[in-house]
Amino acid sequence: MQGIREYALMTKLPGPYRQVLYAFALLPAPLALFSTDLFYLLPPLLLLLAMAQPVIFRVEGGVRHLAFSALGWAYLAWFLSHFIIIARWENAGPGFLLALGLGVAISDVAAFVMGKILGRHKMTPRISPNKTWEGIIGNLLGAYLGVVLLAFALPTDNRPILLLFFPLVVAFGAVWGDLIESSMKREFGVKDTASWLSGFGGLLDRIDSLLIVLPLSYYFLRVLMYFD
C-alpha cells in the first residue's frame, strides 16, 4: 500500500482514481492465498470495472488517469502478489523465495559497488544516467552469488539447471525493474518516489527490482514445470 501511495502521488492521480486504486490494491494478495484461478481472473475483471471511471468521475484527462491507474495496479499490487503464488508451493516455494530475495539484494548491491568503482560505459544515459555496463556485470555476479549461497534451499530436481539459469532471470529482472522505475520517474520529473526512507528515497525506490523479478521468476519456474 505504501508503494501504491508513492506511485499515485508520483503520477498525480486525482482523489477518486487514487481511492479506487487503493481499494483494488487490497485484492490480489488475499485472492492468491484463496485461489490461483481467481488471481488470474482478477486483472481483466478489475479492468472492466475500472473502465467506468472516466464516465463516472468526469475528471479532466480521465482516460489518461485510467491508464496510469491500471499500470500502477498491475505493476505493484498484482506483480508483488506473485510471492504468495510461489510460497504456496509447499515443498520448494519458501526456498525459491529465499534464493530469489538474496539474489536480488546482492545483485543490487554489487551493481551499485561495481558501477561506482569501475563504471565507465553508460548504459542508458537518457533514462538512468548512473547505470553502466560495468554495473550490469555486478548485477549478474551478485545474482549468481545470492542464488548459489542458498542452493541448499532449492529442490534437488534439476538443481544444476536452476543454478545455471535462475540467477540469469533474477539479474535480468533486477535490471529491468530498475530501468522501468527510472523511466517512470523521468516521465514525471522526480528524482525519488518519496523522501521518508533515508538513503533510498521511497519504498518504491527500494523494491523496484523485486517487482519484476517475482513474476518473471514465477513464470520461468512454470516453464520448468515446477508449478501446476
Residues 228 and 129 in one domain: yes
pLDDT greater at residue 227 or residue 55: 55
> So what's the pLDDT on residue 100?
94
Q: Are 138 and 228 within one domain? A: yes
Query: Same domain for 64 and 39?
Result: yes
Residue 67 sits in the same domain as residue 120? no
Instruction: Find the range with the poorest average confidence among 16-25, 120-129, 169-178.
Output: 120-129
Residues 49 and 154 in one domain: no
Q: Read off the pLDDT of residues 37-51 as tens digits, 9 standing for 90 and up.
A: 999 999 999 999 999
Whether residue 109 is found in the same domain as residue 222? yes
Mean pLDDT, rounded, for 128-137: 86
The reported pLDDT for the residue numbered 195 is 81
SS (H, E, C) 78-90: HHHCHHHHHHCCC
Whether 194 and 108 map to the same domain: the answer is yes
Looking at the fold, whether 93 and 139 belong to one and the same domain comes out as yes
In terms of domains, do 76 and 180 share one?
no
Domain boundary among 48, 80, 112: 80
Q: DSSP class of residue 124?
A: E
Q: What is the pLDDT of residue 228?
A: 52
> What's the predicted TM-score (pTM) here?
0.90
State the average pLDDT over residues 88-111: 91
For position 141, what pLDDT does the model report?
96
Clarify whether residues 35 and 100 are in a common domain: no
Among 27, 53, 80, the domain-final residue is: 80
Q: Is the distance from CB of 221 to CB of 96 less than 8 angstroms?
A: yes
Q: How many domains does the chain have?
A: 2
Query: Of all residues in the chain, what percent carry a pLDDT higher than 90?
Result: 66
Are 59 and 99 found together in one domain? no
Q: Which domain holds residue 119?
A: 89-228
CA atoms within 13 A on the CB side of 30: 5
Q: What average pLDDT does this structure show over 194-213?
A: 87
| Domain shared by 114 and 149, yes or no | yes
